[in-house]
Chain A
Amino acid sequence: MSTSEMLGKVLAGLGKVGEIEASAISTRDGLLMNADMHAAGDPETFVAMSATMLGAAETATSELGKSVPNRVIVETDDGKLICMGAGPKALVVVMTAPDAGLGLVLVEMAKAAEKIERLI
């Protein structure tokens, strides 16, 4: 199985958490590696913006001498967008349903991030 297919498998696993509507893996600099979008939009733009967001958040906290953020969570009326580093090279981002339980999603994302880090 190619790395790309294995990453697809990790995303498929995330997709089984009922509250996750779309998910994607990209490089830290915003290049798409794999996405499970359910036709929710353009994955290339989605990951480019997510990578910028996570990178900007990391720069913002480290400017103040704090450690890098564990994740970025964006709350909207229609759902939550969660972006998390997956090792030094990659990141994983998901969009959840509006009433998603954050606990379960975060646990599953952390698991996925660990797998991704080991895959690449």
Chain B
Amino acid sequence: MIETGIPKLDGYLHGGVPEGRSLVYYTYPGVAGDVFGMQTICHATSNGILGVYVASSTDPQMIRDQFSEFGWATEDYNGRFIVVDAFSGLIGADSQERYVVSDPEDVNSLTQCIKKVMEEMSEPGIIVFESLSTIMDLCGESETLDALEEWSQYAMLYDHALVYNFTAWPYSEETLLHVKENVCNSVISVGGITGDVIFGQYFGVLKVDWTDIARKSTLFKVLKPGGIRAYIPKILVTGPFDAGKSTFVHALSNRAISVDRLGTTIALDHGHVDRKGFAADIFGTPGQERFDPIVKLLSGEAMGIFLLLDSTNTTDFKRGKRMLEITESFGLPVVIVANKQDMSEALTPEEIRRELDMPANVQIMPAVAATGEGVFEAFETLVDMVMEVD
């Protein structure tokens, strides 16, 4: 198995792409799809796997620059990162690369070069095509599709994994269907959501023939540097006054800002988290009742909720439950954070469950926001819950 390095995706694919199999990132126009192939090859080469990148629409030097913009230093991969130059031939430029396609507009010339690379690779590796759509534009649709079969056979023979970036430009219906259904062992669709108001990008598995298909979509965001992160646009942190919401947001976030006066939040806390392949924007609400209109205002479109409770202050528990109502969070994933567990009079999560009369399937997690203890565990639990919902 060769991991794709895309958060969540390796889980969906049961570990990654097996040797000798192929995967296509089927991207809808207008969505940043190239970075998927880039991240996959960098993840593989940084794990010691031999990687070949077939450059069809960009100069090899520019490609290295693009990689370094994401923080992936291709020169550090000790020659495990090989570029097949199928670009310079187009503009008649000289190439510094070991493998050069003399005539990128002739699919046979490309096939010859790709076969040569596959033969000469010292061990099974991964071959990533920068843009299958560019190859189609240059060589013709049916010619490219025929060649794909040949490459797949060859890759199988030498146990290399093949990964394509493909943008679904208006090719013939037949071609698009073929790419979507037949050509590869697995198809990952990468698209944009232009729903009611949220704008986002998602990916999901359309096809995979080595494991059961997980029909789930994951929202993502592309960070520079960093690459693809599974992304949650809004996680709400709410709870009664003095439960430690702002402290929690700050403990969790890589950077955060609070609007607070006289020690209490009057507008909101806003933070970004970027951790283990997951990114999220965190909105912390005020806790005092007089700010309820703002709590209501902020809570729209949240995808998950943290309810912070001061474990020593049982009188405020009712207010905590009430805040779940104000935020209209029924049906959304909720993690209750039993904060201030370092205090001697703190109730345990189970005691809090009884006080709140919460069913056993509601997650109540212990934490000490002031020291950061338990904060990331709570985050990971909530992220998992949000990602499990389609």
Interface positions of A (Cβ within 8 A of B) = 2-5, 27-31, 33-34, 44-45, 48-49, 51-53, 55-56, 59, 89-90, 120
Max count, chain A CB within 10 A of own CB: residue among B198, B298, B299: B298
B270's contact among A2, A33, A45, A53, by CB below 8 Å, is which?
Answer: A45
Given A27-B300, A33-B199, A48 contacting B270 (CB threshold 8 A): yes
- Residues B30 and A90 in contact, CB atoms below 8 Å apart: no
Minimal beta-carbon separation of B267 from chain A (angstroms): 5
Q: Which residue of B lies closest to A89 (CB)?
A: B197
Given A3-B194, A49-B259, A59 contacting B199 (CB threshold 8 A): no
Tell me, in angstroms, the Cα distance from A44 to B271 when the chains sit together. Answer: 9
Tell me, in angstroms, the Cα distance from A45 to B268 when the chains sit together. Answer: 10
Q: List 6 extra interface pairs beyond A44-B270, A48-B283, A52-B267, CB under 8 A.
A: A2-B30, A4-B194, A29-B298, A31-B197, A49-B257, A55-B294
- Residues A31 and B297 in contact, CB atoms below 8 Å apart: no
Given A31-B234, A52-B268, A90-B197, A44 contacting B294 (CB threshold 8 A): no
- Residues B281 and A52 in contact, CB atoms below 8 Å apart: no
- A-B contact list, 20 entries, CB within 8 Å: A3-B199, A4-B192, A29-B299, A29-B300, A30-B298, A31-B197, A31-B233, A33-B199, A45-B257, A45-B270, A48-B281, A49-B267, A49-B270, A52-B267, A52-B294, A55-B297, A56-B294, A56-B297, A59-B297, A89-B197
- Residues A120 and B30 in contact, CB atoms below 8 Å apart: no
- Contacts of B198 on A, CB cut-off 8 Å? 27, 31
Minimal beta-carbon separation of B15 from chain A (angstroms): 34
Interface membership of B345, Cβ < 8 A:
no
* Majority secondary structure of chain A interface residues (helix, strand, loop or mixed): helix
Tell me, in angstroms, the Cα distance from A47 to B294 when the chains sit together. Answer: 15
Tell me, in angstroms, the Cα distance from A49 to B286 when the chains sit together. Answer: 13
- Contacts of B299 on A, CB cut-off 8 Å? 29
* B 278-313 binary contact with A (CB < 8 Å = 1; else 0): 000101000000000110011111000000000000
Tell me, in angstroms, the Cα distance from A49 to B199 when the chains sit together. Answer: 19
- Residues B199 and A44 in contact, CB atoms below 8 Å apart: no
B199's contact among A4, A52, A53, by CB below 8 Å, is which?
Answer: A4
Interface positions of B (Cβ within 8 A of A) = 30, 192, 194, 196-199, 233-234, 257, 259, 267-268, 270, 272, 281, 283, 293-294, 297-301
- Residues B297 and A2 in contact, CB atoms below 8 Å apart: no
- Contacts of B270 on A, CB cut-off 8 Å? 44-45, 48-49
Tell me, in angstroms, the Cα distance from A27 to B297 when the chains sit together. Answer: 11
- Residues A59 and B281 in contact, CB atoms below 8 Å apart: no
Tell me, in angstroms, the Cα distance from A2 to B294 when the chains sit together. Answer: 31
- Residues A27 and B283 in contact, CB atoms below 8 Å apart: no
Q: Which residue of B lies closest to A1 (CB)?
A: B30
Q: Which residue of A lies closest to B233 (CB)?
A: A31
- Residues B272 and A44 in contact, CB atoms below 8 Å apart: yes
Given A3-B199, A45-B257, A52-B259, A29 contacting B293 (CB threshold 8 A): no
Minimal beta-carbon separation of B28 from chain A (angstroms): 10
- Residues A27 and B301 in contact, CB atoms below 8 Å apart: yes
- Contacts of B300 on A, CB cut-off 8 Å? 27-29
- Contacts of B194 on A, CB cut-off 8 Å? 2-4
Given A2-B30, A52-B259, A89-B197, A29 contacting B297 (CB threshold 8 A): yes
Tell me, in angstroms, the Cα distance from A34 to B192 when the chains sit together. Answer: 14
Q: Which residue of B lies closest to A63 (CB)?
A: B293
- Contacts of B293 on A, CB cut-off 8 Å? 55-56, 59
Tell me, in angstroms, the Cα distance from A34 to B196 when the chains sit together. Answer: 14
- Contacts of A30 on B, CB cut-off 8 Å? 268, 283, 297-298
Q: Which residue of B lies closest to A48 (CB)?
A: B270
Tell me, in angstroms, the Cα distance from A31 to B300 when the chains sit together. Answer: 9
Max count, chain B CB within 10 A of own CB: residue among A52, A53, A55: A52
Tell me, in angstroms, the Cα distance from A33 to B362 when the chains sit together. Answer: 32
- Contacts of B199 on A, CB cut-off 8 Å? 3-4, 33-34
- Contacts of A53 on B, CB cut-off 8 Å? 267
